[in-house]
Structure 1
C-alpha cells in the first residue's frame, strides 16, 4: 500500500503530465493579423469560430495542428477554451487537374450600367451597406468578417428615413451580414467559389438550410445577408455535451439528411459538411450553412478539386478520382460518428498521415452503439463511392429508409413538427450568448478595403429574395 506522501506525489505527477500534454496540443484562439494566409483557405467564417468539444471519456483528445501553447489555462465549463484550428476548410488543385479557373476579367461596369444597357432582370428594391446597422461581430475568416446586423426602416414615399430600425411585426430585421473583401478573393483566385456561393443560395429554399435574403456589392466588398441563427453552431453544443445520445443525434442527422437530399435534387453538392458549418436555431433544429465550397454538379459529371476539411473528406476526393454527390454522404457519416463518439473516426495531427488513414484504414465502430447505428455508419462510410449508402438512383431516400431512422416521420420532420428535446439557451432573436466572446467583443466595424484595379469580376451579384421569403418570420 502506498503512503500518503507517495500517493500525493503520484497524483501530482499525473496532473503535471496531463498539463504538459494539453499545453503541447491545445492553443487558445487569439485573432491575429499575422497568421500566414497561405496555410489554408478558410471558409468557416460564418457565424463564429471553431470551438473544441469534449471527447468520449475513453478516447484521447484530437491533437491540434496549431503551434504549442505556452500555457494551458483552466477555464470553467461555461467559458470553454477555443482551439485556433481543429482543421480548416481548404481548397487546392487536384494533382491531376488544375483548380477551376477564375472568371475572365471584364471591362469595369457597374450593375446599374449593365441594367441600363440590358434592362433589369427583375423589379426589386436596391439594398446596400447603409440599409443595415451593425450590432456586433459574430465571426471572422480569410476573406472578411461576419456581423450581426439589424435592417433599418425604409422611408415611405416623401418621408425622411432617420435610420430607425425596423419595427416588430414587419419582420424582426435581425440578420447575419457576411462581408468579403474583393481584393483578397481575387488574389486567392476564389472568384468562382464566391459567385457559386451566392448563386446556389438564391436557388435553395429548405427548412433546414440558412436562407439568403439579400446580396449586394460595393467597389471593394461583397455582402451576403442571411438569416441570423441565434443558437450557435452544432460544434459548440457537441463540445459542451461531449457526445450526443442516439436519440438526440438521430433528429439532427435526419434534418441534415433532409437538407443534403434537397441540395442533391437541386444538382448541388455541399462538400464541407462538418459541425462548424451546422447551426442550431432557438427551437433546437439544425440549419446547414456556409456554401463557400458548394458546387453545381449534374448526375454524369465529376469534380476534381481537392477541397473540404480533411477529417470529413471522402477517399475519392483525396485520391483525385473525381467526386460527386456521394462525397457528401461520406461526410454525413463522419459527422454522425463524431456526434455519437465525440471525435471523427480518422484523426492525426499530420495531414498526410491523416489522409492515408482515411484512404486505407477500416472504421472502428465503438461497441456501445446499437447495431442499427453500426449498420448506418457502415453504409455511409464505404470507401468505394458506388457501394456507399445514398449513391444509388434513389439517393437520400435510401438513407431515410434505413432502420436507424425507423422512428422518424419524415413528413412531420420536414414540416418542423418534430420538436428536438434539447433547445439552446437564448434570450432573444438577437442573442449572441452561443457565439464566442473573442468575436462578439471585437469592435463592430466594417473596416475599409482596397478597391481591385483588375476589372469587374462580380457582375450581377445583387439579389433580393422574393417577397414570400421576406415576409416569413
Structure 2
C-alpha cells in the first residue's frame, strides 16, 4: 500500500491499481480505553457497516493489532465542508440548498432504519471527488427504532436540541433541529446560538429560534424552513410529521429542486474539488504526524474488529 497521512487518517491505494484509493482510519486502542470511548467506536463500526447510501461514507473492513483498531473507508478527497466554509465565509442560497439536500437524503436513509445521528456539523460533512456531500463520523449515532426515545447527552453544543439539554429524552426529531442549525450556519458562516462557553450556548438555545435575528441574506422561504425545523416542541418539527422528510423536500425553499437527479447524481454540484490523483489530500488541513508510539492494549474490547 502507498500512503499519505492527514490527521488520524491515511489515504491508501493499492500498488497494483494506483487509481483506486481508500481512507484508513487509525485509532489508538489505549487512548480509546483511557477516554472510555469503547462503546462509541464499536457502535460506529456496527452502524457504518450497516449503511450503504450514496450520502454516507462507506466502511468496507475493520482490522486490529496490539496497538490500533483500523477502519478501511471510502475516501472523500474533496475535504471537509467546514474548511471550505471557513475559507469562503459562507455559502449562497443554491449552494446551501445542494449541501443540505445531501444531508436530507442521508437522514432519510438513516431514519428509515431507526438510526439517530446526533452529530451534524460542517466538520462531519465530506465532499467526494465530484463535490457531493457525505455524512461521516458515527460516534454519536444510535439505533433507537421508531417511536422510542434515548437519554444520552451528546452532540456539539451549538447543534444540540433543547430536549437533549433538558434531559427530556430525544428521538429522530433531534436530527431535524440540527438540520435547521446547519442551514443557518452555511448561509451566514456562524450558527444561530453561540455563547462564550457551552452553558451560555445552551441557555441561548433554550430561549428559542424566535429570539434569533435573521440576517437579510437568509431569504423568507429559507427563514421559514429553519424555523419549522427548529421548533421547540420536537413533535412539531417539519420532517417529523406523517409525510416525514417529504415535507422538507416539498417546502417552498426547495421549489424546483431535482431530488431524483440528486439521488442519481445528475445534479451538478456547486463546488467541484480540485484533485490531482487518487491520494491527493491537499483539500484537507494538514496536521503534524503523530510520531509517538502507541502502547499495547490487550483488554479485548475490540474482539469484533
TM-score category, normalised to shorter length: over 0.9
1:443: Cα distance to partner? 4.2
Tell me what 1:459 maps to: 303
Aligned counterpart for 2:268 among listed residues 419, 423, 442: 419
1:173: Cα distance to partner? 3.2
Tell me what 1:318 maps to: 165
CA contact (8 A) 1:166 1:173 kept: no
Quickly say closer, same or farther: Cα 1:444–1:352, change in 2 above 3 A: closer
CA contact (8 A) 1:390 1:398 kept: yes
User: C-alpha distance in 2, partners of 1:400/1:252?
Assistant: 13
User: C-alpha distance in 2, partners of 1:422/1:435?
Assistant: 15
1:297 and 2:297 aligned:
no
1:197: Cα distance to partner? 0.4
| 3-state SS, counterpart of residue 256 of structure 2 | coil
1:300: Cα distance to partner? 2.5
User: C-alpha distance in 1, partners of 2:304/2:217?
Assistant: 53
Aligned counterpart for 2:294 among listed residues 429, 441, 449: 449
User: C-alpha distance in 1, partners of 2:274/2:295?
Assistant: 40
Deviations 1:11-42 (A, max 9, x none): xxxxxxxxxxxxxxxxxxxxxxxxxxxxxxxx
User: C-alpha distance in 2, partners of 1:147/1:228?
Assistant: 10
- Indicate the structure with greater helix content: 2
Tell me what 2:221 maps to: 372
CA contact (8 A) 2:228 2:237 kept: yes
1:148 and 2:16 aligned:
no
Alignment map for 1:50-199 (pairs within 5 Å): 132-133=1-2, 135-139=3-7, 145-151=8-14, 165-168=15-18, 172-199=19-46
TM-score normalised to structure 1 length: 0.62
Q: How many positions carry a matched residue from both structures?
A: 303
Deviations 1:213-245 (A, max 9, x none): 111111332110111111111011111221211
| Structure 1 outlier segments of 4+, above 4 Å | none
User: C-alpha distance in 2, partners of 1:381/1:390?
Assistant: 11
Tell me what 2:259 maps to: 410
User: C-alpha distance in 2, partners of 1:256/1:235?
Assistant: 14
Tell me what 1:110 maps to: none
CA contact (8 A) 1:150 1:173 kept: yes
User: C-alpha distance in 2, partners of 1:444/1:187?
Assistant: 18
Tell me what 2:48 maps to: 201
Deviations 1:278-313 (A, max 9, x none): 011221111111111111111122111110100111
Tell me what 2:186 maps to: 339
CA contact (8 A) 2:12 2:24 kept: yes
User: C-alpha distance in 1, partners of 2:5/2:290?
Assistant: 5
- Stretches of structure 2 that go unaligned for 5 or more consecutive residues are none
1:227 and 2:70 aligned:
no
1:136: Cα distance to partner? 2.5
Tell me what 1:20 maps to: none
Rg larger for = 1
Quickly say closer, same or farther: Cα 1:444–1:174, change in 2 above 3 A: farther
1:255: Cα distance to partner? 1.0
Q: Output the aligned Cα RMSD.
A: 1.6
CA contact (8 A) 2:61 2:71 kept: yes
1:258 and 2:105 aligned:
yes
Aligned counterpart for 2:86 among listed residues 204, 226, 239: 239
